[in-house]
Amino acid sequence: MPVKKEPGEMSAFERKRLENIAANRAILTDISVTAKKIIPDKARPAKPAAPKRKSRGDQVKREPSRPTRMSSRLAGIEADNETLKRKLEVQAENQAEVAKAKKLRVVNDLNLGDIVVEGKKWSAGLDSLKGIVRGAEPGVRTFTEDDVRETTDKSLKDLRQRMGGLKLYEHWLPNDIKITPQRVYALGLHPTEDKPIVFAGDKEGNMGVFDGSQTPPEVGDDDNPVTDPEISAFKTHSRTITSFSFSPADANTVYTSSYDSSIRKMDLEKGTSIQVFAPSDIDTDMPISALDMAHSEPNILYFSTLDGGVGRYDVRAPGSEEIWTLSEQKVGGFSLHPLQPHLIATASLDRTMKIWDTRKISGKGDLRHPALLGEHESRLSVSHASWSAAGHVATSSYDDTVKVYDFTDASSWRPGHDISAKAMEPKHKIPHNNQTGRWVTILKPQWQRRPHDGIQKFVIANMNRFVDVFASDGSQLAQLDGEGITAVPAVAHFHPTMDWVAAGNGSGKLCLWQ
């Protein structure tokens, strides 16, 4: 006879679930309060009226994939056994449905309190594969204290000493800060300057949020056991999260893009996540590889796709997206010029970095595209192209170089400006091992978008388990390290204004330098 529960009795599982929800809500509330300090209410711009909805071209409908059929002979079925034949067909159909379900994106609005990733004690994942990457020499420095000591330029030496003086977060080792269950694929630092708030997305659509100001409680006895850091964890996408973008108009708004073909908007204050863009046909597979937005256009989202497209979408006008085919192969990374947002730099599997101008768009239908101003071809595929505020473009490529291009005169370019072949040549080529292999997220340079010191600098991970810091003239400023880094911190980002650097690795662990 089953045991009857007394009224009000709660299972341990339910109690733990409610505790996780309460903890996440408390963290989001704290982040929301901090975020509000960026833009005072009086200084917030009035919400502009939504433009008229544009007509949308007909979309090409793709036939759903059919289940794989197997011949009766190979399956060992007698020709007259119709029952077994039908059973085999049903199994194939079921397998196809399961595969299709895995790709379905999350279309509903989500309450973050209801999508907590339970437990937060995630498996180490790829720990056993750390360092098994071609050409990597874990722990071997490519920039040393001797390089700093021998610097003759005083200003450069001072900058190197300042950047090299950044220290790894001291309260927990990186292996203790498991920000996502699986491999970190995307990272973002919230623009608030009050404290480091790191957002990370993994290859399965999970999001983790870490408050870098927290400290562990006093430990040393049974009443104060060692605790893990508090991390808010949510499942907001069904496939890999590829980018984070923070609204310049509302510090509580965080946009995310994903291989599940969608862009979602997370509201830190309300504790919600809503889908703001996805193809109208749920069967259309359009994996989004990157997302960006301009400080001067807070309602316009730009995104790239794995089938070679770059799109523009106004969040105030559903159905307003326009997608241009800019490459026959994957556009793995792109960015907008922070001060000239009509300029787009794309990096593609076709080995090129290209500069486009959206002020001049020509062509009709599928041939419609912005003006191509210039392009540069590398020996192998280009992974990412990142604009600095001053007009430099940094790229990473599988030819084992980081290239820096100088377009600091971009503010004087007229619509459709033609960049000469000479001007498209990189100013600096930095030897850099970019052979990530299968288990390490692709290395991409990321600029400090609005540096307080006015010095243009960017970070990129180093396969020897460091994070490299470079200036726009190609000189290396620092090689960040610290105790407890046991895997390549492949996804590295600068805070937009502060000298804070965060990086995530293949096991979902986080490094944070301040």
Q: pLDDT tens digits for 422-450? A: 999 999 999 999 999 889 999 999 999 99
More confident residue, 174 or 111: 174
Are 442 and 383 a contacting pair, CB within 8 Å? yes
pLDDT at 277: 95
Tokens for 276, please give them: 């703001």
pLDDT at 136: 73
15 vs 8, 121, 233, CA distance in Å? 12, 17, 18
Tokens for 71, please give them: 């011949």
pLDDT (mean) for 463-489: 96
Q: What is the mean pLDDT of the chain?
A: 84
**What are the residues whose beta carbons fall under 8 Å from the beta carbon of 134, sequence distance 6 or more?**
435, 437
Q: pLDDT per residue over 122-166, tens digit each?
A: 433 333 333 333 467 888 998 989 999 999 999 999 999 999 999
pLDDT at 486: 93
Tokens for 255, please give them: 């946009």
Tokens for 4, please give them: 């009857």
- Residue 171 clears pLDDT 60, i.e. is over it: yes
**C-alpha to C-alpha distance for 122 and 507, rounded to whole angstroms:** 9
- Residue 451 clears pLDDT 50, i.e. is over it: yes
pLDDT at 181: 95
Give the model's confidence band at 44: pLDDT under 50 very low, under 70 low, under 90 confident, else very high: very low
pLDDT at 227: 81
**What are the residues whose beta carbons fall under 8 Å from the beta carbon of 9, sequence distance 6 or more?**
none
- Residue 297 clears pLDDT 60, i.e. is over it: yes
Q: How many CB atoms are located within 10 Å of the residue 69 CB? A: 10
Residue whose C-alpha is closest to residue 382's, from 405, 409, 411: 405
Q: How many CB atoms are located within 10 Å of the residue 450 CB? A: 15
pLDDT at 122: 42
pLDDT at 18: 75
Longest CA pairwise span in the chain (Å): 88
pLDDT (mean) for 346-360: 97
Give the model's confidence band at 109: pLDDT under 50 very low, under 70 low, under 90 confident, else very high: confident
Q: How many CB atoms are located within 10 Å of the residue 20 CB? A: 18
Put simply, whether the predicted model's pTM sits higher than 0.85 gets the answer no
Are 455 and 159 a contacting pair, CB within 8 Å? yes
* Sequence-ordered strand ranges (E) for 247-368: 253-258, 263-267, 272-277, 288-294, 297-305, 309-314, 322-325, 331-336, 343-348, 352-362
pLDDT at 75: 52
- Residue 352 clears pLDDT 80, i.e. is over it: yes
pLDDT (mean) for 217-229: 67
Give the model's confidence band at 510: pLDDT under 50 very low, under 70 low, under 90 confident, else very high: very high
pLDDT (mean) for 117-125: 45
pLDDT (mean) for 276-285: 86
pLDDT at 134: 44
pLDDT (mean) for 232-238: 92
pLDDT (mean) for 285-290: 95
- Residue 54 clears pLDDT 80, i.e. is over it: no
pLDDT at 319: 86
- Residue 6 clears pLDDT 60, i.e. is over it: no
pLDDT at 7: 52
Measure the N-to-C terminal CA separation of the chain; round to a whole number of Å. 60
Give the model's confidence band at 284: pLDDT under 50 very low, under 70 low, under 90 confident, else very high: confident
CATH top-level class of 145-200+314-513: mainly beta
